[in-house]
Structure formats: C-alpha cells, structure tokens
Chain A
C-alpha cells in the first residue's frame, strides 16, 4: 500500500490546482480511500469501522458477563465495571448501530433512488471521518486515565464535577459532541439527497421502504441531536466554567438533564430500529416472492413512529416523581406508539403469508428479527403500565427488554442486511451453509443471554451492580446468560470466518441480481461502478425493477419478460453455476470465474463525478483537537490554546474546502462545451462553483469550532 501513497501526493495535479493542497487524483490505493467522496466507499468504511467497534463493544459485554457469571465476582473492580458498562452502552448505540445503519444509508439510498451520489459528497466524507475520530476520541480515554463511567445516559449531577472530578466524563461529553456533528451533517446530506435527487418517476411513494426509513431516521437524527448537544453543553459549562444548571445547591434541577437526555434518547431508539425495519421490509418480499403487504401502510407507520417517538420520552422517567398527570399521559402515548409498530409486524407477517419462501440466510435473520422484536416490543408495552414500570425500573427486566429491541431487532436486521447486500457491495456471495450456522448460533446465543434477564429483573436484580450475593438465588440464571454471551461471541467468529471463507476459499460471483430482488440497486452491476447507473433509470412503479423482469399471464401467474423461468435471471444463474464449478474444480476461488463484463469508467461514458478531497479529513481531524483542548482546559487555561489551534484548523480546512470546486473540470469533451447548462456535475464554470461553496464554508466552520458542534457544519457547502 505504501508504494501508492507517494505518487498520489506527488502526482502533479491536473487542472485547477486551486487549493492549499493538491487535489488527490490516484483512483487506487490507500490514499484514494482516505480522500474518497464516493458514497459507496464511504458506506463500506462506515461498515468496517462500525464492525470493529462492535467487536470492542462485544468484548466489553463479555467482561460484564464474566464478572457476573458467579456471585461475588472479582474479575472487575467496581470502578472498572462502571467504565465497562458505560462504554458498552455508548459504543453499541453511537459507534455500532448508528454507524452500521449509516453504512447502509450511504451505500444504498443513492442506489435505491437512482442517483449517482449523495447531494454533498465531501460533506459525506466529513461525516465518516468525524464519526471515526469521535469514536477514537472516546476510546482514547482508556489510555488517558480512565473511560467514561456515568452510564450511557450520563445522569447529572452524578456526572458533575463534584461527583466525577476526573476526565472520564469529559471524554464522553466531547466524544458525543463530535459524533453528534457527524450524525447531524450526515442527516442533512441524506435528507437533501432523498428529497432532491430521485430519478425521474421515483416519486416519494415509489421509494423503497429502506430508503423511506432512512429518510424518517434522518429527520429524527436532525431534530434529536441538537437536544443532546444542548444537554452536553450545559454539562460542559457546569464542569468547565462553574455554571449551575445541574447544581442542586444553587437550585439547579437534575430532572432537566433527564428531560433533555430522554427527549433525545427516545427518538434515538427509533433512529436505531427504523433502519433495521427498512432492511427487513426489503428482504421479506424478495424471499417470499410477493410484494410487501401494504406498502403505503408500512411507510405511514414509519412516519407515524417518527412523529410519535417525540411524545413518549417520559416513560424513561416514571420513577422520578413527575406526578400522576404526566405519568398517565405518557403511559397512554407509550401504549399508543405500539400501534404503528404492531401494524408493521402484521404487515410483515402478511407479506410472508402464503409466499413461496426461500429460507436463505438473510431471510432467516429477517424472520428472526420479527420474532425477537415482537418479544421486545411486548415487554416494552409492559413498561407503559406505570405501576409495573416502577417495579421494573433499574432492574434486569429493562436490560432484557432493550436488548430484545436493539439486539433482537436492530442487530438481527443489520445482520440480515449484511448477508442480503453483501453480493451487491462486493460482487460475491457469503457462504450459505456458514451463514445458517451463523444465524442459528446467533439466535440461540441471543435468547440464552437475554431471556433469563427478564426473570432476573422480576426477581429484583438491579442493573449496574458489579456483583451480587450468593444468597439472592440469582447465580444459575446469571451463569446461563454468561454462557449465552459466549455463544454470541462464537457466532460472531463464525461470521468473520464466513467472510474469510467466502472471500478466499469459495468465492462465488453474484451477478447483478443474485436474489431475484425488486429494487433499483439490483439493476446495476455488482459491485456498482462509481457512477452507479450508466443511464439514469426512469421509474414507473413501486418495485420497478421487479416489473422490468416480470409480467403476469391471464391467470395471474408470473412470467419472466426475458422468457426464462422465474428466479434469478438465466444469465446470472449460468454465471454463478459456471463460477461455482470453476471453484470446485480447482479450488482457487474467484480467479477461475468467468470474467465479468468490462465496466466502463465514468470518464469513458462522459459522466462527470465529484473529485476526491483532503479537506473533509482535515476538517474532521480538527474536532478531536478541539475536544482535547477544551477538556484539558479545565486544568490549565493554556490548553485552551490547543482548542484554538483546532478551531483554526477547522476554519482553514473548511475555507479551503469551500474554495475547492466539488468536481475538477475535465478536459473538454466534444459534447459538453455548453457552459451555460451543465447537465452533469461540475461541467459548469468552475470559478463560480468555487465561489458558491466558499460563501457557505465559513459559516459551517465557525459553528463547529466555537459553540455548537452538535449542529454546526450543516451548511458547509458540498
């Protein structure tokens, strides 16, 4: 890899060397990934990074389970236990499920709406880097004196300077601020992409359900993140500058923190689950070979959840003592939000009902999602009954509930999504036999771990205790949960083995449409070329790609339009059969496969794509510098100089970003000489383009650098 680095930097830049740094031009090698603005590459980077954090969060979970396996465990000290469960929760929410969903958003949403990229490709790269640096910032705490230890919810005043004088909480505050910037910027970008860049004929009510759920999730992120941004800022002012927001001695109200946190925290739950619902809504119709039952109802249920998710946050606070009116109102709203969720579950069941089912790995994960999520949803409804909830508050019953929703729901959906879209993203299939082993161990391990926690909670075992006494009679169920957690760990290793095996040992090319699927991303090559579609598709209905493949005869039977049998296209089947035979024959993997048809480059097709850039990386790099400076500024004012340097770097890189056109002008082609109406990206007058971006840049910059990272940078042009 290093050999490619040098030439990339040293390559004399092509045209319009306008910025401080030469524009990266090499299409291959490590630097091409570091400077990429391609939504597909960014999606893959999101996925890989989130998976690494999943392993870290998983190790933390195993440590928790080892500590609790037997009464009076001694593996972790109380303080270490606090750090581990805080980081487990923070990691799984902010560094695994959210970015894993973002990986799919980025990769799939533009493909599913027939676009060439997102609206602001460089901003997209910035989101990824900010996410990565935010995660590294959080994890650097382990090396710099201790990880956050106040729970993922960070209740003040427990997290105030009086009770948490170390830097643990500061890592959490600034790490979450950086991650908030990443998510907010990403949400703005995706919302604009989906609202503005749909292919001709792709009306909103023809968008695939996954894209719809991406849109709803993005709006939730857009509106939820500023609320936690404010909460974190108030806490920062308390800790660093002596304000009194959460200081009871001066009249400060700890419940303010809880309101702000859960006003963010409950929409966050839907931010985590809606993308998985979207994935399942794509997988089920494909493998049931039926259209999604009640497409508009599913879409509107998703939107309803998006709205109602804002009116239920107090059910996290039933034991605070807010009075009967507040508790009753939020009990009712919490029961009510189960309705659109239930509607979706019935729609999925009806989709599968009497379908000609194919139990592939993604289908198994999708069905597992429905079953596990239903259990989690039902235990959620029990929480809406406030007398019951007051019994269960802070017990393992709650832990069981949200793991059934977030693991049984979100992670099952995401695993299904990985198996389903892997062939599209990488061009070859994951092995089905290992995939099924992966699924069954995952399912068994999951239930073995979390089902006993319901009973532990009902028996009164509290959350967040680092040990318990033998006389409480909790030992057997805890041991069962610990065994289950190791089954999940084995299942994760099986998944990784499957990836290795399918990549190196038995590489079966996928063809464009291995599952006989319904949505637009399957209409292009696997993996898709950087420009996604040679010709921008024109869409006529929901599941347009399906209708391009199939029609019905007089008796309503499916007929393939190309004359073949129903199922993956004959070309794909032949392609894969030959490839599999080649693999079996010589065991060398993909090399023996028939060559895929040559993919033309964007340049050959006259499609002008956005150019890579260093500035998103630099701008994102300034954020942890700012964070460290602000954090250590409390001990010595001179550290605020570091924060100042971070702000200057942020300002400079966004300014240079603004002056750099989104796409470098190409050498004039015969056919795009008309400057006035640039049909493709960047074909217009470049100087003006730069000017346009420059104007927006500084605003975004200052936002992030000074006071409001949570919402800043949203307007930083392209």
Chain B
C-alpha cells in the first residue's frame, strides 16, 4: 500500500484535519462546509431571539418605549460602519488570494477596527439607554432589546478576535497564500453576522410598533 494508490480521485481520507486542496464529495473543504453548517444552526439561534423580540413588541406594561429612546440616525451610522466592514473583508480575501500579504493585513485590521467601532457605538447606546432608565429589568422591551442586540454584539466581538488572530498569524508569516481559505471562512462568519444585523436593525429600529 503506497500513498499513490490511495490518492484516488475521491480519496476521502485525504480530507482529515486539513481539507485544503483535497477532493471531497461536495467539492467544499471540510472546514468550509463545517462553517456553513454551523451558520445554519446560527440562523435558528437568531431566528428564535428575533421571534421573541417580535412577540414582545409593544407589549411592555411600562416605559420607556422604543420611540422615546431610539436615536435612529446614530444607529444608522454605526450600522453603515458595520456594513462597510464586509467590503474590507472582501478586500482582505482578494489580497491574500493575490499573495499581497501587506494589504491583507491592512484590510484585516481595517475590518477589525470597523467592527470595533460598531461595538463601541453599541456600548455607547447601551450606556445612554441605561442612563435614560432602560435596563434589562425595566420592561419587556428592555429585556428583549438588550438580549437580542447583546447576542449580536458578542458575535461581532468574536469575529474581531478571529480577525485579529488572522492578522497576527499573517504578521508571523504563518498565513501563506495557500491558506487563503482560512480568511474566506472567517469572512463567511463575518458576512453572516453583518447580514443578521441588517435583519435586526430592520426589525427593531425601522419597523414601527
């Protein structure tokens, strides 16, 4: 038994551990398919949270209400910042696929900073809401608002950790061009979190109660 015999056109064991460059049944590497699968599960997580928010819209028995407290222009700006980070994420992937590692790091860092700006905006929003008298305990709106946006904020934060880890790997020369798929997979997660924000933003800020 030699390696050559085993490296058949669809040798499945080839995909252990690193799926890069190997033929799998679906054509997707194991890592990428796992990310897609995981994101499918995440859809239900956010779906359930958004449903809970929807159920309790306008059901609070006391104030403050969303109309009294939202600063929609401010949130629109921070949403725009988050959406722009998807663009820089795409540019980061394009850079590593070209083998341009300097630009890869520039765009990874830009994406992380845009994400951090969004989180900073969220922290500011949370603190100003709390100052105005809305906490998780105040009413149904407070409970469902903080839990839904909080879950999303944690997801963005994890994405930032992921991006900074990639940046660090690249700086240490451990993220060669052949591994560009790692950036792509991190990008899948990042774009997913962005798309979820579009839904959340629409549901909680734009649709009137």
Q: Which residues of A contact B (CB under 8 A)?
A: 113-117, 119-121, 184, 187-189, 191-192, 195-200, 222-227, 229-231, 233-234, 237, 241-245, 250-253, 256, 260, 263, 534-536, 538, 605-607, 609-610, 661-663, 669, 671-672, 677-684, 687-699, 702-703, 706-708, 710-711, 714-715, 717-718
Contacts and interface: CB of A to CB of B under 8 A. Distances in A.
Residue in A121, A607, A715 whose Cβ sees the most chain B Cβ within 10 Å? A715
A681 B17 contact: yes
B41 A222 contact: yes
Contact of B61 (A116, A250, A662, A715): A250
Contact of A230 (B7, B19, B48): B48
Contacts of A699: 158-159, 161-162, 186, 189
Contacts of A189: 34
B102 interface: no
Contacts of A241: 136-137
B16 to A, nearest CB: 3
Given A119-B30, A197-B15, A699-B186, A605 B137 contact: no
Interface residues of B, number: 79
Contacts, number: 280
B107 to A, nearest CB: 15
A630 to B, nearest CB: 14
Of A191, A250, A693, chain B has the most CB atoms within 10 Å of the CB of A250
A252 B142 CA distance: 12
B59 interface: yes
Contact of B35 (A605, A684, A715): A715
B95 interface: no
17 contacts: A196-B28, A198-B12, A227-B48, A245-B52, A250-B62, A534-B1, A671-B3, A672-B3, A677-B7, A688-B178, A689-B18, A695-B175, A696-B31, A696-B162, A702-B158, A715-B189, A718-B18
B195 to A, nearest CB: 16
Interface of B: 1-22, 24-26, 28, 30-31, 33-35, 37-38, 40-42, 44-45, 48-49, 52, 55-56, 59-62, 136-137, 139-140, 142-144, 146-147, 150-151, 154-155, 157-159, 161-162, 165-166, 169, 174-176, 178-179, 181-183, 185-186, 189
A245 B53 CA distance: 10
A117 B16 contact: yes
A205 B16 CA distance: 23
A223 B175 contact: no
B42 A711 contact: yes
A690 B56 CA distance: 46
Of B40, B48, B154, most A-chain CB atoms within 10 Å: B48
Give me the 9 closest cross-chain CB pairs, A-B, nearest first.
A662-B17, A714-B38, A681-B16, A679-B7, A243-B143, A226-B45, A230-B48, A691-B174, A702-B158
A707 B48 contact: no
A581 to B, nearest CB: 35
A221 to B, nearest CB: 9
Nearest to B13: A116
Contacts of B178: 688
A707 B150 contact: yes
A715 B31 CA distance: 8
Contacts of A534: 1
B15 A222 contact: no
Contact of A115 (B12, B146, B150): B12
A195 B186 contact: no
A450 B197 CA distance: 50
Contacts of A250: 60-62, 139-140
B38 A711 contact: yes
Given A198-B25, A690-B174, A251 B140 contact: yes
A687 B173 CA distance: 10
Contact of A691 (B49, B144, B151, B175): B175
B185 A671 contact: no
Contact of A706 (B15, B154, B175): B154
A192 B41 CA distance: 14
Contacts of A230: 45, 48-49, 52
A334 B62 CA distance: 40
A710 B179 contact: no
A197 B10 CA distance: 8
A715 B45 contact: no
B18 A679 contact: no
A256 B52 contact: yes
A198 B26 CA distance: 10
Given A196-B26, A679-B14, A536 B154 contact: no
Given A241-B137, A711-B41, A120 B30 contact: yes
A189 B37 CA distance: 9
Contacts of B61: 250-251
Contacts of B169: 691, 694-695
Contacts of A708: 45, 151, 154-155
A243 B145 CA distance: 11
Contact of A715 (B3, B7, B38, B48): B38
A717 B185 CA distance: 11
Contacts of B140: 244-245, 250-252
Contact of B37 (A188, A252, A687, A707): A188
Given A688-B179, A696-B182, A244 B137 contact: yes
B158 A703 contact: yes
A225 B174 contact: no
Contact of B6 (A242, A535, A684): A535
Contacts of A688: 174, 176, 178-179
A263 B51 CA distance: 12
Interface centre among B10, B25, B35, B150 (most CB of A within 10 A): B25
